[in-house]
Amino acid sequence: MEEMMKLAANYGFPMVVAGYLLVRLEPLIKELQKSISLLTLVVARESDADVEQLRQIVEGGR
């Protein structure tokens, strides 16, 4: 029983903190992904690249 308490103390707290941070940071990561996709399209448009092909790549993940 003492060994289980040590395991919970050693690994439980880091797992809770990691889960909390994942939940907190997920919306920020999604916003960054959208911003990067938009910036990619803007740069492609400015450099006269094929914008439709790049949009399909960004949206479709291909």
Alpha-carbon gap, residue 55 to 57, rounded angstroms: 5
Name the token pair of 43: 């740069």
Please check whether residue 58 is in contact with residue 37, taking contact to mean a CB–CB distance below 8 angstroms.
yes
pTM: 0.56
The tens place of each residue's pLDDT in the chain, 62 residues long, gives 888 888 888 888 889 999 999 999 999 999 999 999 888 888 877 887 776 777 777 777 65
Rounded to 5°, angle at Cα 35 from 23 and 26? 5
pLDDT, position 46: 82
